[in-house]
Amino acid sequence: MGSYRQHALDGASAVDLVVALYDGIVRFLHEAMRAVDRGDAEGRRAAVKRALDIIIHLQARLRMDVGGEPAKALGEFYAAIFAQILQASQSASNPRFSHAIDCVKNVREAWRQVARDPGANMGALRLTQSGALVSVEGEGSGSAPAKPVNWTV
C-alpha cells in the first residue's frame, strides 16, 4: 500500500502534498478511535503518535517570514489541535477525537480550495478574527467559507 501511495503523490503540487498530510492525520485519528473501541491503549498511542508526528512536520515547515498572518494562524491551529489530540488520547475519548477530526477536515477543505483555484495563493487562506473559521478567498471567486469549527482548547 505504501508504494501505491508514493506513486499517487508523484508529481503532486506542494498544496496536494499538504492535503495528503491532512488526510494522514484524519486516518490516524480514526485508527486511534478504533483502538479506543477495542480497549487497545498501545494501538491508540501508536496512532496518536503518527498523527502528532505529521502535525509536528507541518508546523516545522511553516515559514513565518514568508507566510505572514496565514502562517501564524496555521501555527496556532497546529498547537491547538496538538493539545486537543493529546487530551483525547489521555482520556481515551472518541468524542474528543471526533472533534479534532472535524477541525482537521475543516482546514483540509480550505487547502483543497486553494489547490482547486490556481489563482488563489496561501495569502488567501486565513482565519476570521474570532479564530473559529477558515476561509479561502480567490480573486473574485466569491468562495464560500468552510464550515465554522471552534478549535480552541
Residues near 39 by Cβ (< 8 Å), separated by ≥ 6? none
pLDDT for 119-152, tens place per residue? 655 454 554 333 333 444 443 334 444 444 444 4
Q: At what angle do helices 94-116 and 14-38 cross, to 10 degrees?
A: 160
Residue ranges and CATH numbers for the domains of the chain are 2-99 (1.20.120.340)
d(CA 31, CA 124): 32
The single residue listed with the C-alpha cell 486537543 is 84
pLDDT for 102-118, tens place per residue? 999 999 998 888 878 75
The single residue listed with the C-alpha cell 508504494 is 3
pTM: 0.75
Give me the DSSP letters along 120-144: --GGGEEE-TTS--EEE--TTT-PP
